Structure 1
Amino acid sequence: MAAEKNNGNIYTVSNLTREIKSLLENKFPFVWIIGEISNYAVPVSGHSYFSLKDAKAVVNCVMFKNQKTSLKFNPENGLKVIGLARLSLYEPRGAYQLIFEHMEPEGAGSLQLAFEQLKKKLFQEGLFDAAHKKEIPFLPLKINLITSGTGAAVRDIIKVANRRLPLCRLELLPVKVQGEGADREIAHALELANRSGKSDLIILARGGGSMEDLAAFNSEVVARAIFESNIPVITGVGHETDFTIADFVADLRAPTPSAAAESALPDKKNLIQILERLEMSMVSSMNQRLGFLTNRIHDLESRLKSPRRTMDDYRFRLEELESRMMNSLENQLFHKKEKLSWACRNLNGSQPQVEAGTRQLKELSKRMGLEMKGCLDRSRTRLDQLEMHLSALSPESVLDRGYSIVQTLPEKTIAMDAGKIQPGTSVEVFLSKGRLMARVEDSICE
């Protein structure tokens, strides 16, 4: 019965699968399909393998590496997408699959989804943290402008700078602000400004536009270049309602290019007013201080005694002390004279005793001299004897009698025992006149 229905043909598994594959691929060459991504995986090959499902069915899908380059977002599990795919049957397993050529997220556009995905990624990495924000200099003397060289943004910034702070130098690094390669040009300009290191500030700006127009400022390469910049960066991209990834990473976000210039540069008029207020405050403080010091000087002058008056006081004191000293000396001199007169009178009354004492003193002096001379003679004789004895015992005297002194080298110890001196030892022989340097050939102990 089955053979009759198949016109007498019996299919092999491979033949049947091939015919089904041909029917499917011819019937559905391209299809638009909507579903939710699950089991998303990217092996080493770079191709994406995943399932697309709805509430009632699941189909295997693949998107090859070359087709993925046109995507503006990253596919991920749970994301609902609409895509254009080719229907294909994989013969070895007899299972059909979808080969995607194009894909878009359902609802939000791909650019918006890519924006949210990159924003989430960089936020998790900490690129938006306030701790990494650099302080904007109060009075920059040089600013690098990174924007289109022909756009309205650069003219607006120059106009604001000339009005607010003309002395600030502006240096333009012209770049593409939209289109293919714009993000790489902007990142290169940021790196160039940092390598030169001569600017105090960088302003990254462009006028308004659609999300597609602002794509370069929503790129990861620009975001990381801003984060790695050692020079503070102010962004002024688009209109007030436009927010880009570059705005989140920058050290300061301004709503427009003109606002970026105003945020970067203080107003000259305000600076002059501040300086005038500071000058007035300084003058007032100085006047107060001078007034205080003047009053202090007057107070000290009133309390300070005149040097001339002090000298006069000391002069009077000196004259008084001099007068008292003279009176004291005169009194002492008078008493000394009285005492001397009394001593002279007593001395004249005992003249005989003085003469006897004088004779006794002379006799004692003569006896003491004789005694001292005898003592010196005895000491000199004793000293001569000791010198003769010492001379007889000295080494020089021994050498003069024909003896010698032997000293080993290099120790310089006196040789006392021949048995303790080894043959070949160098010795020094001291004689009465001179010395000999010798070497021991043999030693004889007796």
Structure 2
Amino acid sequence: MSAPSDRILAGLPGIRRATEDFYKDLHAHPELGNHEHRTASRIAELLRSAQYEVTENIGTTGVVGVMANGDGPTVLLRADMDALPVHEATGLPYASTATVTGDDGQEQPVMHACGHDVHVTCLLAFAQLMADAKDAWQGTVIALFQPSEENGDGADAMMDGGLAGLVPKPDVALAQHVLVYPAGYVGVRQGSFLSAADSLRVTLYGRGAHGSMPQAAVDPVVMAAMCVVRLQTIVSREVAATTPAVITVGSIKAGTGPNIIPDSAVIELNVRTYDDATRKQVLDAIGRCVNAEATASNAPKAPLIERLNAFPPTVNDAGVADRLDKAFRAHFGDGAHTIDLQTASEDFSRIPDTLGAPYAYWGIGGIEPDTYRKASEQGTIAQDIPVNHSPFFAPVIQPTLDTGITALTVAALAWLGNEGD
């Protein structure tokens, strides 16, 4: 008898055209975090048509579909729905031309520049295939569609919205992300996978004066410049060379004219770390450094340090990741890999951590294979292959969608079909 995943995936050719059409439509109609109303409505409609028990508006726009199919494990699979404020430059016939009015009253473009449209499409297709082949598996599927991953608040919003009381407790939680690897690639790893991320705003206070009279001022521009330089020494001189960490100052704002010394300056920075100890070490060092520079400049008051957002580290459960790795290698053969450590960040882990379930997160490729191969041979992947969040990021539809759908199926059936035992 064929494996349960093969029996389920036998239905893929029959839904492939509709799946690709859905993807194109979703790509052309992106929505920002906590505003995914059209997306969520379409998801709920399709889940109901597949006979899932559906709950909408969890947190903000979160959607969950549950299908119970006899005794067995409960597997939660998650996709994120939100897009980014990016002007699409891919030139695709289904490219987004959407704009929205921001909180400042200005129009801003919207694009699925991170591949969340791939994630939604693959999870919906998986849900349909599971509904169409219930004789091939046993247990419970939870298909969870999360808002506002990019803002880092969507997972918490769903938990605060009562998710735990709306779904059965999962035995395992799974998620995937399309990344800059050749389409057809599937990769998982044990332990640390995605970094923690902390975005900070530091306001430095000085004393304003005429540009010709610096002796009357405490110059916050100089203070900010010294902070930027000093912050770069934290990773290079305080963190072990074998421990990955990144500090990036992405914004400096100060002053209104060339001959005016302002009374404040603002720097915004982003921190990436992979474990709680390093995270605390780096954040503590940032506070120490900016306060010391303010003291050295004789600032009239201490800097204000604000956390803008924070993402937890994504640390795959060793047992879950090992089970997935075996299942992926059995099904995909040479297409299955141990993926590299990634510097991107996610809030997915807050859901299984709060629900008390082990989890694993993996990556799939989305780049046309020949394009990726040529860039790899020339050593120009970083220059020639647009990455997530780029206005040129455009996963090739196939085999990306088929791979994502297949990976979800193989992963889920490692529990629901006893293929991982």
Range class of TM-score, shorter chain:
under 0.3
Structure with max Cα Rg: 1
Greater share of strand:
2
Instruction: Tell me: higher relative CO, structure 1 or 2? Use CA pairs within 8 A at least 6 residues apart.
Output: 2
Greater share of helix:
1
Normalising by structure 2, report the TM-score. Answer: 0.21
Normalising by structure 1, report the TM-score. Answer: 0.20
